[in-house]
Amino acid sequence: MTSKPADPRPFKRAILKLSGEALREPGSRDNISPEIVDRIAVEIREAIDTGLELGIVVGGGNFWRGASASARGMDRATADYVGMLATVMNALAIEGALEHHGVSCIVHSAIEMKNVAEPFIRRRAEHQLETGKVVIFAAGTGNPFFSTDTTAALRASEMNADIILKATQVDGVYDSDPRKNPDAVRYETVTFQECLSKRLSVMDATAFSLCMDNHIPIVVFDLAPHGNLSHALRSQPIGTLVHGE
């Protein structure tokens, strides 16, 4: 473990990465839990009221996983496009919940679908962030073979975000899988280089390289406990901070 560096928090602009599974109640057959989405929207509204500029990238794993479908014989590119459409459904659910709580927001889709979302245009999205809108980035990068982690890293780079907040099902980065090893040790802070040398799981390789090359720190935290998202969005120490040297 390393000593804590100069913390990039408080930050002005962030990209929040939500997995599709985060929108589903564990053990439920429902793909989306309205209660969970509503809680996420409430915590986002509280943070936006402080002046935070926020972009959201959401996955689609609660509906579909392209890699899994490909492993069962489906063409990988086709399977990934189906997954991109799944992210649009999740983005619309989040948009609806945010609007219900009075948050001005807009969905940008990397795949054009005029009736439900704006096409992704970088300068327009950046201007909307500057004016206080929450921008939800859907449909991944618009290309197969790229994860939504990579989308988060790419959009963070394009939007000049100060940080990526990665909401997960664990409370940070560990030296081994805490679900398999009860003695696993959690890092409060760790460098990009340490993650590479110790093969710590943070993001996929493409996403991680983008963050490292563009000096974008990552906070990995557990979304499930009530209040955790609010703490992360309010720049309060939580989870594990992954940073440069």
* Positions at the binding site for UMP: 60, 80, 141-148
Instruction: Please give the annotated binding residues for ATP, written as ranges.
Output: 17-20, 61, 65, 168-169, 174, 177
β-pair partners for 221: 167
- Residues at the binding site are 17-20, 60-61, 65, 80, 141-148, 168-169, 174, 177
d(CA 87, CA 79): 13
Distance of alpha carbon 147 from alpha carbon 141, whole angstroms: 8
Residue 162 in contact with residue 10, Cβ under 8 Å?
Answer: no
On whether the CB atoms of residues 24 and 13 are closer than 8 A, the answer is no
* Radius of gyration of the chain from its Cα atoms, rounded to whole angstroms: 17
DSSP per residue, 25-68: -TT-S-S--HHHHHHHHHHHHHHHTTT-EEEEEE--TTT--HHH
Alpha carbons 119 and 113: distance in angstroms, whole number: 7
Tokens 């890699």: give the residue. 67
Alpha-carbon dihedral 116, 146, 55, 211, rounded to 10 degrees: -170
Q: Which two tokens stand for residue 81?
A: 């496009």
